Amino acid sequence: MGSVDCRFWRGEEKGEYTVRSGYRLAKGCEMRELESGWPGLWNLNLPPKNLYHVESISLWIDEMWTALPTVLLEKVVIICWAMWENRNAMVWKAQCKDPRSLVNHAVFYAHNWQDIREDTPSSTTVRVLPSLVSHWECPRVPFLKMNIDVAFNHTAGRMGFGWSVRDASGAVMGIMMYAITGLFSVREVEAVGAKEALSWIKQKRWSRVILETDAQLVTKAVETGVDITPFGAIVQEIRILLQELPLVEFQFVKREGNMFAHTLARKALSTATDERLEYLDFIPRFISSMLCMNNLLI
């Protein structure tokens, strides 16, 4: 399923321009003139440790503060931090990232941190159920339960996907593991994982499935509706698939109840290729061992 390219406004979570966000952006530039320099630096929406190594260049910060909007200023600070970290790695570990990788890694890190802090409002347009338990539970008859998760290898620039399907007795009915090259934001890759899992359910012609994820940003976005950001485009595809699969229940579960899928996603990162590993007729020994360890933790 493809989506049409479109423009979106970065000043709003849903990508739509509002007078309030435009005013906030303009007012923010004005306020930074009053808060410029070292004191205002601590008000940036960045992880705290990224703000410790800049005091010696306070004059340069003053100049940047009056010239750059907040979003760009945050990128400047995070990239400066990444350069400092890269310098330390070169001195102490003889390791050095190339400039493109360094910038991509720094911006990716900042975006992920900001995404985790965001709280997306919810509604009831699409039924998304919360989980009230903190461990994995068997689905009710005649449903299957699919747990999905993703993992990252920032050094190698890869993302791992993993999901498992179990029946009402807890028996494993199917496993999928694969990794792809590239790094998306946390919410985008979690949404891609949900979309791919729903496509797999549709392909297998399973009608009654409980789909669980520990990505609350995704379940809330699916519940809320569509926006015009790239993340919103993926959410829209999820909503379309859920409409085509009316008996599939999509719900949030705590990490403790999703550990087997998390282990599969991490294991997928160790594969040498981007080939998808699908197990239906048998379960490999290494997966059986992981499942046993997961069951001991339940």
251: amino acid identity, one letter: Q
Domain coordinates in residue numbering, the chain: 19-117, 128-297
* DSSP per position, 13-53: TTS---HHHHHHHHHHHHHHHHHTTHHHHTTSSS-GGGGSS
Residue 210: predicted pLDDT: 95
Over residues 197-222, mean pLDDT = 93
Q: What one-character-per-residue DSSP string does the chain give? A: ---------TTSTTS---HHHHHHHHHHHHHHHHHTTHHHHTTSSS-GGGGSS-GGGHHHHHHHHHHS-HHHHHHHHHHHHHHHHHHHHHHHH-----HHHHHHHHHHHHHHHHHHH------SSS-EEEP--SS--PPPTT-EEEEEEEEEETTTTEEEEEEEEE-TT--EEEEEEEEEES---HHHHHHHHHHHHHHHHHHHT--SEEEEES-HHHHHHHHH---SSHHHHHHHHHHHHHHHSTT-EEEE--GGGGHHHHHHHHHHTT-SSS--EEESS---HHHHHHHHHHHHH-
More confident call, 276 vs 286: 276
The per-residue pLDDT for range 2-13, each reduced to its tens digit, is 566 666 666 666
CATH, domain 128-297, list 3.30.420.10, 3.40.50.300, 2.40.50.140, 3.60.90.10: 3.30.420.10
- With beta carbons less than 8 A apart as the criterion, state whether 113 and 47 touch: yes
* Dihedral (CA of 129, 132, 133, 138) sign: negative
Please determine, for residue 67, whether its predicted confidence score (pLDDT) is greater than 90: no
- Residue of higher predicted confidence among 169 and 112: 169
pLDDT digits (tens, 9 = 90+) for 77-104: 788 878 888 888 888 878 887 877 777 7
Stretch 251-268: mean pLDDT? 91
0.85 exceeded by pTM: no
